[in-house]
Amino acid sequence: MTTKIIMDTDPGIDDAAALTMAINDPSIDLKLITTVAGNVTVDKTTINAQKIVRFFNAKIPVASGAEQPLFKDFEDAARIHGESGMPGYDFPTDLPKPLDKTAVEALHDEIMASDEPITLVPTGSYTNIALLFSEYPEVKSHIKEIVAMGGALGKGNMTSAAEFNVFTDPDAAAIMYKSGVPIVMVGLDITMKALLTHESIQELPQISETGKMLHDIIVNDGDNSDKGIAMHDVNTIFYLLHPEAIKTEDMWIDVQTDGPAIGETVGDIRGAYHDGKTNAKVSVDIDAVEFNKWFLEEVRAIKN
């Protein structure tokens, strides 16, 4: 049985790795890719999504989305992902054209046309999702769940309080978390534990051309440490395929939309402020060894 998903993304190195898994794993049916400004500007994230689609000769439509956050100024992460967002590998240049509709229109059309509820997997800022819910609230009942990379219960990676995706557009994040749609928060609490080890990274080019492509872009990721490189967005796909490897806790998530803690995701860990209500399953622990094993197994299974 396959899971129908839509990825809303801002490639980005780890987004590209997540797209690689979603395109190729037979248990996932990736119906649409929408892009958003985040790691780099939306024109670049759209080109990068098209590069991954073209690399695998996949027949998956790409729609370009929001150029900037709802209200705050846009700040990219080119310092981490490079000016292009996906440096290090020479991709084909004969790229498919994006859809002649906006990301929001494409999201609406794909969700409403589906014969079963679709899972949304946003791995960038949530601007497109917020615009979708504001313009087409009827789609909410047709979404199975949102598995969103972003947020943190503790230390951020953009500020001391905020994770990058939420910081990029905190107002959009607030809209998403108030939407009533089931949400799984895949945040820094696990993505900074499930580092792709340097041993795993060095094995990649020995596997296949796909492995070489992933290796060549991953080694350019500025989110690097002695223990490995954080593949934040890939954890969403890992969760979809192996939820047993990730521990979650139900809680209410509020998003700070102004002040010095703008972009912080505040978890009501004690259940003290929302009368016991929850709006998210928050990822709090992960089997990092299993994550590395799975990542390499996925690459080995790709016939490219």
Catalytically active residues, by annotation = 232
DSSP readout, 103-172? HHHHHHHHHHH-SS-EEEEE-S-SHHHHHHHHH-GGGGGGEEEEEEE---SS--SSSSS--HHHHH-HHH
The 3-state DSSP class for residue 242 equals: coil
CA 263 vs CA 69, 98, 102, 197, 268: distances in Å: 12, 30, 26, 29, 16
Question: What are the backbone angles phi and psi of residue 280, rounded to the nearest 5°?
Answer: -160, 150
Q: If you ran DSSP here, which 8-state letter would residue 233 be given?
A: T
H/E stretch holding 170: helix 170-177
Based on its alpha-carbon atoms, the radius of gyration of the chain, rounded to whole angstroms, reads: 18
- Is residue 103 exposed (0-12), middle (13-18) or buried (19+ Cβ within 10 Å)? buried
